[in-house]
Structure 1
Amino acid sequence: MHYPAEIYIGQVRDYPGSRPSAIGKVQVEGALTLTDLGLQGDEQAEKTIHGGPDRALCHYPREHYARWALDCPEQAERFVAPAFGENLSTVGLTEENVFIGDIFRWGEALIQVTQPRSPCFKVNFHFGISDLALLMQQTTRTGWLYRVIQGGNVSADTPLELASRTSDISVHDAAVIAWHMPFDDDQYHRLLSASGLSVSWTRTLQKRRLSGSIEDFSRRLWGKAKPAK
């Protein structure tokens, strides 16, 4: 199967009331160079938590936008690609049929799925919806991230094609294991066995196994302690 992809890049800018972000992206046509750190001209803010070799590209399924528009009708017009700051937008690839470790051929490049995108509070500010990051996590409509196995020239004229699948853990499964289940060492071990899992997710799961507890998600989802209800 071939999956045509729209391509987006963005630059870091300031957001009043939040921290700098490159979530606002624009569509690009023609050939681009893809390196180990992502697409030519694409930027990331706060690089300790965004970007880097395991998070070089962000992919978001375009078909999710119709559901978000129904779920959040007051902001329905905002839910069009690339509103979630994705680099790649396709129809036909979702968290259910894309697997951790999948390698896709894209033009001259090879890219590998490393983890679900971990939603953070910046999407709340971007959309003006205070709990959108939490809703992304709860629904597992998160998209996913890639590392670049082989760089090269890519473009919207060269669709994605699955080249290799080595694990039985979908992106959806990984999100459920990480965020929806109570502590489950067997499931953490299963996810850790998935070839290609990102270093950051590997580190987090190993910390859970050593501590016997699940970390607090509040700072990632809200930018601070969870607001009182």
Structure 2
Amino acid sequence: MPRTMVDESGIDQLDAQWISGIYKDTVQGPVRLTVTGPEGDGQADLVYHGGLHQAVLLYAASHYPAWREELGRPDLVFGDFGENLTVEGLTEADVCIGDRYELGETLLEVSQPRQPCWKLSRRNGVAGLAQEVVRKGLGGWYVRVLREGNVEAGQELIRLARPYPDWTILRANDIIYGREADPVTRAALAACPAISPRWKEALSGNPD
């Protein structure tokens, strides 16, 4: 659930009072994934986080060694990037918008890349971390929960469908941030039936 963090001195901007659901704890045993996210989890900012199209955030386990070295933070552990599920064997280069996966009892559909906000920097006490994640395109990805059910650590994430192979998460990041600037390509991604409404608006030039 969301936590309130505060440094009573208020001197360091990274430590001023803030409320966030980015803190995640490792869970043993089954967890139920609902259409709005894992039971027992929560978002503090429901305008930009959560909802049907951002129900569960996945992040690649393989990114952690590089981040530990780059940031000089050997203490980084799974969950420190705010993800609900840390996954092995997949990165933003391997996952596409619209991919459908079975995990435990659930059916998941990839809806959009994650656009990290300032809270990622605050969470880890590293100024500029969110911007660096954006630059690298390694923010993770959100899924919808099409079928609710229980999941637990160690279960295999099985891909069942890939209807839109052109739109990897990495490429979608390049498009939204202007690194791939062709307007025809941008419009084509916006027209992808599986893209989230928020991203469709942003790609169409009408961000909310």
TM-score (normalised: structure 1): 0.81
**Which residue of the other structure, out of 65, 73, 80, is the alignment partner of 1:83?**
80
Gaps of 5+ in 2: 7-15
* Cα distance per residue 1:186-224 (max 9 Å; x no partner): 12112123331111101111125xxxxxx7xxxxxxxxx
* Cα distance per residue 1:154-195 (max 9 Å; x no partner): 222432100111112100000001114275321211212333
Distance 1:78 1:191, change over 3 A: farther
| 1:131 corresponds to | 128
| 1:40 corresponds to | 39
| 1:193 corresponds to | 191
Compute the displacement of 1:19 (Å).
Answer: 2.5
> In the aligned structure 1, how far is the partner of 2:117 from the partner of 2:181?
22
Task: Kindly report which structure 2 residues correspond to 1:19-168, keeping only aligned pairs within 5 A, or say none.
Answer: 19-73=18-72, 76-167=73-164, 168=166
> In the aligned structure 2, how far is the partner of 1:205 from the partner of 1:122?
24
Alignment size in residue pairs: 197
| 1:14 corresponds to | 4
Gaps of 5+ in 1: 1-10, 209-214, 216-229
> In the aligned structure 2, how far is the partner of 1:194 from the partner of 1:145?
16
Q: Return the letter of the residue paired with 2:4.
A: D
* Cα distance per residue 1:25-67 (max 9 Å; x no partner): 1111222221110111111111011110000000010110111
- Alignment RMSD (CA, Å): 1.5
> In the aligned structure 2, how far is the partner of 1:56 from the partner of 1:129?
26
> In the aligned structure 1, how far is the partner of 2:153 from the partner of 2:127?
33
**Contact persistence 1:100–1:195 (CA under 8 A):** no
Distance 1:196 1:182, change over 3 A: closer
**Contact persistence 1:61–1:90 (CA under 8 A):** yes
> In the aligned structure 2, how far is the partner of 1:67 from the partner of 1:174?
22
Are 2:164 and 1:174 aligned?
no
**Contact persistence 2:191–2:200 (CA under 8 A):** no
Matched residue of 2:19: which SS? coil
> In the aligned structure 2, how far is the partner of 1:71 from the partner of 1:157?
28
TM-score (normalised: structure 2): 0.89
> In the aligned structure 2, how far is the partner of 1:18 from the partner of 1:117?
24
> In the aligned structure 2, how far is the partner of 1:59 from the partner of 1:36?
15
**Contact persistence 2:174–2:180 (CA under 8 A):** no
